[in-house]
C-alpha cells in the first residue's frame, strides 16, 4: 500500500539511528580551530549541568601532532544580564596524559561562553564556543 519509498525511508532512518548510537551521548564533544591549531574539547556531561563539569582538551598542530608543551587556559563566562553580577571565571589547565584538564563550575543554568587560549612560546591562539548548562 505504501510502496518501496516507505521501506527505503524506514531503512535510511534506522541506519541513521544506529550510526548516531555509536556516539557517546553522555559527553559533549566540540572541535574548533585556533589559528592553525585544532582544539578538541570534551565535557563529561551532555548537556553540561549546573555544578562541576570535567573538561579535557587536546591540542593538535597542522600535521595533527599533539601539542603538549603549550600553556592552556580556559575562561568561561555567562553573557551579561541586567541586575546580575558578572559571572566570569578563568583557570589554567593541567596537562595530564597528553590532555589538558580542568573542572568548570557552572553556577547557573543558561548560556555560557567558553574561551580556550593556547600559548606556545610568545604566540597565543584562541578558540571560542558556547554551551547551554541545565
Residue 10 makes CB contacts below 8 A (sequence gap 6+) with none
Per-residue pLDDT band for 1 (boundaries 50, 70, 90) equals: low
9 pLDDT above the threshold of 50: no
- The answer to whether residues 55 and 112 touch, using CB atoms and an 8 Å cutoff, is no
Q: What is the pTM of this model?
A: 0.77
Q: pLDDT tens for residues 28-77?
A: 999 999 999 999 999 999 999 999 999 999 999 999 999 988 999 999 99
pLDDT score of 3: 57
Q: What number does CATH give the domain 25-133?
A: 2.60.40.1930
Average pLDDT, the chain: 85
Residue 119 makes CB contacts below 8 A (sequence gap 6+) with 70, 71, 72, 73
Dump strand ranges (E) for 69-109.
Answer: 71-77, 88-92, 94-96, 99-106
Phi, psi of 80 (to 5 degrees): -60, 140
Amino acid at each position: 500500500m505504501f510502496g518501496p519509498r516507505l521501506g527505503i525511508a524506514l531503512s535510511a532512518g534506522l541506519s541513521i539511528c544506529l550510526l548516531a548510537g555509536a556516539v557517546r551521548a553522555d559527553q559533549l564533544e566540540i572541535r574548533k580551530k585556533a589559528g592553525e591549531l585544532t582544539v578538541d574539547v570534551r565535557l563529561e556531561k551532555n548537556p553540561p549541568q549546573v555544578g562541576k563539569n570535567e573538561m579535557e582538551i587536546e591540542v593538535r598542530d597542522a600535521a595533527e601532532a599533539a601539542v603538549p608543551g603549550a600553556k592552556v587556559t580556559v575562561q568561561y563566562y555567562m553573557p551579561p544580564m541586567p541586575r546580575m553580577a558578572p559571572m566570569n571565571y578563568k583557570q589554567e589547565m593541567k596537562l595530564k596524559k597528553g590532555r589538558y584538564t580542568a573542572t568548570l563550575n557552572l553556577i547557573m543554568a543558561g548560556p555560557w561562553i567558553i574561551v580556550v587560549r593556547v600559548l606556545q612560546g610568545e604566540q597565543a591562539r584562541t578558540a571560542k564556543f558556547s554551551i547551554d548548562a541545565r
